[in-house]
Amino acid sequence: MKRAMSLLLAAALCAGLLVGCGASSGGTAAAMPNSTVVEEGSLDFATGEAADAGLSGTEADRLSPNDGRKIIYNASLEMETEEFDATRDKLLKAASDADAWVQGSDEGGSAENGSRWVRYTFRVPSESYADFLNDASAAGSVTYKSETTEDITADYVDLEARLESLRTQEARLLELAGQAGDLADLLAIEEQLAQVRYEIESYTGQQRVYDSLLAYSTVDVSLDEVRVLTPVSNNFGSRAVTAFKESWHNFANGVQDVAIGVIYLLPVLLVLAVIVLVVLVLLRAARRRRPQKPIQPPPAPPAQVPGTGTAGEKPAPKYGPEK
């Protein structure tokens, strides 16, 4: 009886291994999922030949190029705006309309300097992916856009086949455990059953991750506040307009900086003015208290002798004949 049970257990394990190998042979050739990156525009779907690589004939027949494929969509947007609050509200409204949710966010900058920024990671339902991307792009000025598609059809089919094989092994081992009459055989079956169940849990967790990535697309949005938008075209006219706007903004910022500097120095200037005023008042009071010297009259002119000129001078000789 013990030998027969051992043979049955070995046969069940061999059958399970054969089923698992047969199921995985179609997917191992396409172990790496097809990934497509598209920048600045159109979304490039994987072609039927590329996506069917590694699939067996039966699996390829029941999966058409545009139906039933397991494709993960991701996108990245970099945007600028002169109206930060309004553009951010538009982004959040687009997410709400698409039933999306914010997986992560980060923001910073200064409103006074016009340098605010925010980074969002949106999880968007796959059926609303295209609409959300259009609405988000229309919220501001897009400077960079990237879209990626990852076809995991082969991996997903291989994962389902492995799970099916493991569940078949689990059912067979449970049946053998019910027929085991020896404790050693029962312990051996329980050990194999624990290993099979562990693999089932592992593959089931991976399947849940795939299902989440397939159900919700990931869209990263970067929004920066600027004073002058980066021109889409690079001709002379747009460059000249941009240069004038930047020069004007720099001049206005310079005037504001000077005014702010004066405001910062105003308390110091007021204190210095009070000190100077007090010093002047004290100096004037000191001058008033100082005794003044008496004013001496100017010396009197010397007295003149009659018939003479200035005192001490001889009279002028008289000319002419004496009488």
Classify residue 302: in a domain, yes or no: no
Same domain, 219 and 267: no
Same domain, 95 and 192: yes
Residue 241 pLDDT:
60
Whether the pLDDT of residue 219 is over 70: the answer is yes
Same domain, 128 and 260: no
Domain that holds residue 276: 236-282
Classify residue 303: in a domain, yes or no: no
Same domain, 275 and 200: no
Same domain, 264 and 210: no
Structure-block tokens of residue 163: 């799970």
**Alpha-carbon separation of residue 292 from 279, 287, 288, 310 (angstroms):** 22, 10, 9, 37
Classify residue 44: in a domain, yes or no: yes
Same domain, 255 and 125: no
Whether the pLDDT of residue 212 is over 70: the answer is yes
Position with higher pLDDT, 323 vs 283: 283
Residue 72 pLDDT:
95
Q: For strand 216-225 and strand 141-151, is the pairing parallel, antiparallel, or unpaired?
A: unpaired
Confidence of residue 286 (pLDDT cuts 50, 70, 90): confident
- Mean predicted confidence (pLDDT) in 128-157: 94
Same domain, 19 and 117: yes
- Give the torsion sign (CA, 168, 52, 38, 99): negative
Same domain, 135 and 271: no
Number of compact structural domains in the chain: 2
Same domain, 111 and 184: yes
Same domain, 105 and 157: yes
Q: What is the mean pLDDT of the chain?
A: 76
The full length of the chain comes to: 323
Q: Which of 250, 265, 282 is the last residue of a domain?
A: 282
